[in-house]
Structure 1
């Protein structure tokens, strides 16, 4: 069970450079095809925090085509996580912890982000069997089944309502969406990050489907992914997922469509198709590759929603498979 104290640090006495504590917020303005990501990683054991603020306005395959990128990797670590301000202009404050937050950011080129996040449910603890039917008892099993390994030694997901403003390019855009934030803590090295997915579909304040999935890109599309943890939030009540069928179609690493069939502990099934509308590469760690896309989801009954589809893998795993070397240099052509 997640309590108010879980918005603070969980730093063990022997914490080193691997121990990390993260906050993630993501918002979307569907009519304008604008997505924003705010992410911080605190490593209190070595006294540093990274902060990433990114904006996307199209479906792109390289970071140069993102709208805005403020990624700084070695900022001073704050004294607490319930109320902190980073050196690059981001402020996060927990209100009515652990459900509500106030986030403010002032960056370069006049970009500003201001929103209130109000949780629509009790935070979902992936290691609490009362929350997740996939929860495991031992620490070793928890790490193996979490999706992010020991990086999800502690982890909660929380679906809520974002309301506020984005200022970009001299214009002000209203933020009014349902999305999911999360908070994680545990040992998370910056290389060999586990390959996984973290995604969700929101159909209003009354209905959302959220999942974390294992991912093996070496398998066929219909066999690559399986459920780690997830839930259906319906009318404020949360029902853990027991099964997930998930097909993700990509061009290279670019997600362009997703289909899922999620089954919750009541036996209720939710089947939806998602088309990516905006997204791009997101490098939360220098040694990883993430693709994040906001999708327009359609349930079988025709109801339309929005939500993130994201996948992460380590660049170390990719270079093992795809690393290239030319064995001939220039100047070896003879007549």
Structure 2
């Protein structure tokens, strides 16, 4: 069970240099094809943190096409992870486990964000068998950050984005997560973080592994997730994701998932915005895609975020060495 104090730093071995706690939120302005995120990774025993704010519009294939990409390393670690300000201009406050506030002003004044997050369901403790039937039996290969302390949330994100003298209203249903525990970021595996939204009263979240067939990306196996039906959160017993892509970016997708009551759902997604995110963690790469999801007459927007270890990408995608 997640409580407000889970946004603070957790009890830990002070000698463990790998102890890591993170924050992540995705947001979007679908009508303007804008997708963005805020990420903070802390190493409290080492007294340092890393923070990234990334925003893109439309489909961007290269890092230099992203519209805002502020990634700063070796910032001082905050004393209280539930209420802090960083030298890069980011401020965060967890009012409780369901209500979060973010503010960001870039150092050059080019970008600012004021976002409020309000959960549409209680945050999920991914290690609680009462919430996740697969807890303890379905580890995310190579990603200790998902296998130790971990919460997943879904909520309404509202506020304002100002970028390059243009101002946008933010009002979307998107995901947050928080992780804590020992974490040796080697980057030797991958996984996909999937939110599906289909209009008021129906949405889902699930995690699937990422594998390679030759140089083709495939999704699976299913790890865990839930569907939210008119406010009722139901655990998923299975989920499948297939996708077409250009380079590493998803361009269209089909999601199929089944809840613990035997109800099966299908949704087709078309990419509205996408971009490569290479600097949120030196060991990993993220490919963040804002999807327009459709199922029958239902329509909504939410993200697929494919996370690959850089080492994993090299093993599977690099050309053979020549003599």
Q: TM-score, normalised by structure 2?
A: 0.93
C-alpha contact (below 8 Å) 2:193/2:305 kept by paired residues: yes
Give the superposition deviation at 1:205.
4.6
Cα deviation code 1:230-284 (max 9, x no counterpart): 0111222211110012112222211111111110111111100111111111122
Structure 2 gaps, min length 5: none
Change (3 A) 1:194 1:259: same
Give the superposition deviation at 1:292.
0.7
- The 10-residue stretch of structure 1 (197-206 or 84-93) with the greater mean CA deviation from structure 2: 197-206
Q: More strand per residue: 1 or 2?
A: 2
CA–CA separation in structure 1 for the residues paired with 2:139 and 2:56: 31
Q: Secondary structure at the match of 1:320?
A: helix
Residue of structure 2 in register with 1:187 after alignment: 182
CA–CA separation in structure 2 for the residues paired with 1:229 and 1:12: 26
Residue 101 of structure 1 pairs with residue 100 of structure 2: yes
Q: Secondary structure at the match of 1:145?
A: coil
CA–CA separation in structure 2 for the residues paired with 1:64 and 1:189: 29
Structure 1 gaps, min length 5: 328-335
Structure 1 residue runs of 4 or more that deviate by more than 3 Å after TM superposition: 14-17, 146-149, 219-224, 323-327
Residue 197 of structure 1 pairs with residue 192 of structure 2: yes
CA–CA separation in structure 2 for the residues paired with 1:193 and 1:86: 30
Of residues 249, 253, 273, the one that matches 2:244 is: 249
Give the superposition deviation at 1:229.
0.9
Give the superposition deviation at 1:223.
5.9
CA–CA separation in structure 2 for the residues paired with 1:236 and 1:163: 19
Residue of structure 1 in register with 2:286 after alignment: 290
Residue 240 of structure 1 pairs with residue 235 of structure 2: yes
Bigger radius of gyration among the two: 1
Give the superposition deviation at 1:2.
0.9
C-alpha contact (below 8 Å) 2:83/2:94 kept by paired residues: yes
* Structure-to-structure mapping, 1:25-44, within 5 angstroms: 25-44=25-44
Residue of structure 2 in register with 1:145 after alignment: 139
Residue of structure 1 in register with 2:168 after alignment: 173
CA–CA separation in structure 1 for the residues paired with 2:157 and 2:62: 27
Cα deviation code 1:3-23 (max 9, x no counterpart): 121111125114534221111
C-alpha contact (below 8 Å) 2:210/2:217 kept by paired residues: no
Give the superposition deviation at 1:188.
2.4
- The 10-residue stretch of structure 1 (214-223 or 252-261) with the greater mean CA deviation from structure 2: 214-223
CA–CA separation in structure 2 for the residues paired with 1:291 and 1:298: 21
CA–CA separation in structure 1 for the residues paired with 2:87 and 2:75: 6
CA–CA separation in structure 2 for the residues paired with 1:79 and 1:276: 39
C-alpha contact (below 8 Å) 2:208/2:219 kept by paired residues: no
Q: TM-score, normalised by structure 1?
A: 0.90
CA–CA separation in structure 1 for the residues paired with 2:228 and 2:64: 36
CA–CA separation in structure 2 for the residues paired with 1:60 and 1:150: 29
CA–CA separation in structure 2 for the residues paired with 1:287 and 1:151: 13
